[in-house]
Structure 1
Amino acid sequence: MSGASDRRLTAFDKLLQRGERDPRTRSSGVGIDLLDVVPEWEAFVAAYDRASRTAVRLRERIVSPSIPVTAPRWIIDPDFDLRYHLRRVRLPGDGSHRELLDLAEQIAMTPLDESRPLWTVTLVEGLDGGGAAVVTSMSHVISDGLGMVAMFAALYDTQRAARQGEMPLVPVPQDLDSRELTIDGIRGLPGAALGLTWDVLGKGLSGLVRPVATVTNAASYAGSLNRVVASFSATEPSPLLARRGASRRMVTHDLDFARLRGAAKALGGSVNDAYLAAVCATMRRYHAALGLPIDRLPMAIPVSLRSKGDADGGNHWTGMAIGAPIAETQPAAIIADVHAQVAAGRAEPAADVMNVLSNVTAALPDALYAEIAGLVRPADVQASNVPSYPVDTYLAGAKVMATYAMGPVPGIAVMIVMLTRAGKAFLGVRYDTDSIRDDELFERCLVEGFEEVLSAGGQPAAAVPVKTGPGAHSERLGAGRAKSPAPTRKRSAATKNPATPKTAVPTKPTAPTKTASPRKTTAKATKAAPARRRTGGTA
């Protein structure tokens, strides 16, 4: 059990782990990298082998006690098998971006094996314009968005030539099962109780010495906590997005980051403000087009709490709720409204509400926790902004042309993640197909909503296609071919669930030996790993 005691799951991580057991609250997300060429399989495997020896969380799995006398632990899996986590398939159809996204959705909705490290990587070949895609499925329990960016710096290179040098040593595995962890927890109960007693006593004595300050601070925090908790139900949800189901759909959109940054500056806000304003414009257009305009809808925004010394693994963020002003038609006014709400939320003493609530619910039995969690009304939309690498990156000799982060959809209608990388902003959108009923309309509103904000900020207008389904991979890989329209998906029972595409055809990888309702559609070389670029706003 050596080394296990400093790898406890936090109460917040445990909350996310619980969500994995329900398809509607599962915290797993998917990342999609588009590569300009198909990497050599041996080099691809070697890159992940090297990364897993440096970013040790990739080799760790969770062990939970038989009875809740202590926190679950991360241990380095003694049975770690890289061949299980790496897969290789070929798209069986036309190889379009739409087919790739449907495959990625199928992967996203497949539960991860909790007896192993909580991730898989699938190399996808057979794309219509050549190249390949890498679909990474990973539990949010492993880390938050910024943590994953830092963790995967061990994977990417800054030159096409593969990283040279000796392979790092294999991390020492640990043997620890649920029974042993339970016994260890029982043995530690007296010490834990004593520590809690001293903590309470210390705070009590501090209150006696400074009674007025203590009471004032407690009252101030209680008032802040009440405001923060109330904010999550302060805005009425949209009746148009009321239904929730079990099926999801993905869509992507690319932006020039310089255009977004220029528009934000011209409109008097940050990049994050302009991004949220464009999300508001998207939702306004969708509601108006369906004849049900509303003033506001509840929007959740994750706010990073990461500091410089935090480990890459684990979650360091909290949640914030705002009333997204989707009736407003002037982007500058939307930005001012959103900026004021976000600033007020950040200033609350109880802004770290997620950690507070997770500590309160951590010891509750799963059944009781599920009942309480069911009382919390989820937001309609969640919008995240994740700054990534500022330079071009490569994976096993292949250049990464685009990266889309497809976040989880835990009871919300729409999840939008903007990931900025090497001068581009890549939007990854997942939505509940029972909430968003018209794919073509929503995807058109997404493009037009962002162009609305960019144009208002003085940026040259870009042509908005009538159908906004993603086009051929060859265009994304710079082949200069004219964009092909997205294939039309008929309204039929066989295609209602976008997460059930044609079965991808597995190839035969030559892995090395073991190292430890019906819908409409449309449109590392020898150089150091790239540093993260931080921008204003949420992460």
Structure 2
Amino acid sequence: MTTRLSGQFGAGAWNLPRQLNALDSLMWRCEANPRLRSPLIGLFLLDRAPDWDRLLAGHDWATRMVPRLRERPVTSLLVPASLIWTADPEFDMSHHLRRVRLPGPAGRRELLGLVETMAAAPFDPNRPPWESVFVEGLRWEGKSCAAAWILRFHHSMADGQAAVAWLTALLSRGREPRHDKPQPPIPPVSRPPSSLALLPSLLGVDLGSAELTRLAEEALRAALRPRHAAVECARMLWTAVNLAPRPVGQLSPLLSARGTTRQLDLMTVPLDGLRAAAGAAGVSVNDAFAAAMLGGLRRYHELYGAVPETLAMAMPIQVRGRHPMAGNRFGGMRVAGPMAEKDPLVRLSAVHRVLAAAHAAFDPAGLDLVTNLLNRLPTPLVLEIARRIGLSFDLQLSQIAVFDPGFYVSGAAIEDFWCFGPVPGCAVTAIMISRRAGASIGVTADAASVTDLPVLMGCMEEGFKEFREGRPRRRGRSGSLR
């Protein structure tokens, strides 16, 4: 583990917000419904089994550098909807770190089976919501990996961007241990703040002087520019309405079933083609990622029946605030993805248009309005609304730009890695980890929605092949690529 640290680590990490924001709280409250659980799982392939003693010491050091790893959400007695990060007075590393050896010979499918089991398991509400599992004795097709690392944590702790920042700062750049690392003490176990002290934030008001100044400035701007204020208010309301549980685009009859069993699979694709295609079309890699995924899903639908003109899909919009190293701060845009379009060039342009329009219309204030209102509702009602929102789209996509290879965990080199996200009511979630060398894509599917995941993965690989040459290949009249 390394010394490339920011002010948010060590003693600085103790200044992270104690109260979960509205979005974090909603994610944690949805843990009560197995279909809405929100684990994030990182799967790392290692070239060797890490030294166990170094691993124990490294994890202990990480929890002192990032004390959030020693904390759990606790409900306020006065206001049940208020959750506070509180240090676990009985924190025990043995509840979070373990190593296993799968019955041999164990390869890709056996390892993914273990990850699937972990994805379905609930977090213990009495302990910090994370676990770190090291798997030994693997045989991975085409790779020299001998071990794997599975890191599972609840989405309320951090989103993908914050988690990457944590890992980038904590992982090592070499095999040998470092002896010049900062050694912060174990953070003190303090009482959570009183419910009365939290009332201003529960009402959406921070009585600090900086916040009062901001509110006064916003009121003055609204008075001086009423038309501008009206436009901003309309954007905020549009964002709030777009987050409501209503369909956006067509829902696929083929993917309509929902259950609690999760299937996971992965693939690695070259990123140069996506980058070149995006550059040639004047769009983003995120647009090309979505266009390739829609192309793969179109092929899957062609095998099993009719292809809807569009597919209801969701993608996040990052809205980072004062604490970029903790919690979640993103909005969701739900759009009608042009799935039936066979021409990859036309599909790429269409994807760009719908995503750009949704992004331009998004306003963080609308997100805050919805999440704060939802967080004041009884948990059964919150679960029902969250369920309906999840059912309003079939596909969820996310892209994370990550560090390049060259990182180590307790002497073991990380050879490859993927991230798997939850399917909170939707049929498929795909997360693309983009690096210089390529893109690692982790797919989580509802087993009731996707009845043949290997076939779907093959279709998705074909969708990405359209962009492999750097320029999308048009289709001829017969449907073949030319």
Contact kept? 2:466, 2:472, Cα under 8 Å: no
Contact kept? 1:158, 1:391, Cα under 8 Å: no
Partner of 2:121: 110
Secondary structure, aligned partner of 2:77: coil
> What is the rounded CA distance, in whole Å, between the counterparts of 2:244 and 2:22 in structure 1?
22
> What is the rounded CA distance, in whole Å, between the counterparts of 1:57 and 1:140 in structure 2?
13
Partner of 1:487: none
Give the CA deviation at 1:217: 3.8
Choose from 4, 26, 29 the match for 1:15: 26
* Cα distance per residue 1:182-240 (max 9 Å; x no partner): xx213664898795899799699759944844762465336533663479623121010
> What is the rounded CA distance, in whole Å, between the counterparts of 1:403 and 1:219 in structure 2?
42
Partner of 1:58: 69
Secondary structure, aligned partner of 2:466: helix
> What is the rounded CA distance, in whole Å, between the counterparts of 1:341 and 1:94 in structure 2?
47
> What is the rounded CA distance, in whole Å, between the counterparts of 1:205 and 1:156 in structure 2?
46
Partner of 1:251: 265
TM-score, length basis structure 2: 0.85
Partner of 2:341: 328
Secondary structure, aligned partner of 1:289: helix
C-alpha RMSD of matched pairs (Å)? 2.9
Q: What percent identity do the matched residue pairs reach?
A: 33
> What is the rounded CA distance, in whole Å, between the counterparts of 1:296 and 1:203 in structure 2?
43
Give the CA deviation at 1:380: 0.1
* Cα distance per residue 1:310-366 (max 9 Å; x no partner): 331111111011111111111111111111111111211535543321111111111
Q: Which amino acid aligns with 1:387?
A: A
Indicate yes or no: 2:284 matched with 1:270: yes
* Equivalence map 1:138-177=2 (5 Å): 138-166=153-181, 168-176=183-191
Q: Which amino acid aligns with 2:239?
A: L
Choose from 74, 82, 86 the match for 2:93: 82
Give the CA deviation at 1:158: 1.5
Contact kept? 1:299, 1:323, Cα under 8 Å: yes
Contact kept? 2:427, 2:449, Cα under 8 Å: yes
Query: After alignment, is 253-262 or 8-17 more displaced?
Result: 253-262
Partner of 1:451: 465
> What is the rounded CA distance, in whole Å, between the counterparts of 1:272 and 1:53 in structure 2?
35
Choose from 22, 25, 36 the match for 2:47: 36
Contact kept? 1:250, 1:431, Cα under 8 Å: yes
* Cα distance per residue 1:243-271 (max 9 Å; x no partner): 00111111110122223322332344321
* Equivalence map 1:187-336=2 (5 Å): 189=199, 206=220, 209-210=223-224, 212-213=226-227, 216-217=230-231, 220-221=234-235, 224-225=238-239, 228-229=242-243, 233-306=247-320, 310-336=323-349
Contact kept? 1:54, 1:154, Cα under 8 Å: no
Q: Aligned pair in 2 of structure 1 residues 222, 285: CA closer, same or farther (>3 Å)?
A: same
Count of residue pairs the alignment pairs up:
451
Indicate yes or no: 2:383 matched with 1:373: no
Contact kept? 1:225, 1:353, Cα under 8 Å: yes
Q: Which amino acid aligns with 2:176?
A: A
> What is the rounded CA distance, in whole Å, between the counterparts of 1:26 and 1:191 in structure 2?
26
Partner of 1:437: 451
Contact kept? 1:63, 1:176, Cα under 8 Å: no
Q: Aligned pair in 2 of structure 1 residues 39, 422: CA closer, same or farther (>3 Å)?
A: farther
> What is the rounded CA distance, in whole Å, between the counterparts of 1:65 and 1:292 in structure 2?
51
Secondary structure, aligned partner of 2:265: strand
Contact kept? 2:78, 2:195, Cα under 8 Å: no
Q: Aligned pair in 2 of structure 1 residues 455, 369: CA closer, same or farther (>3 Å)?
A: same
Contact kept? 1:50, 1:167, Cα under 8 Å: no
TM-score, length basis structure 1: 0.77
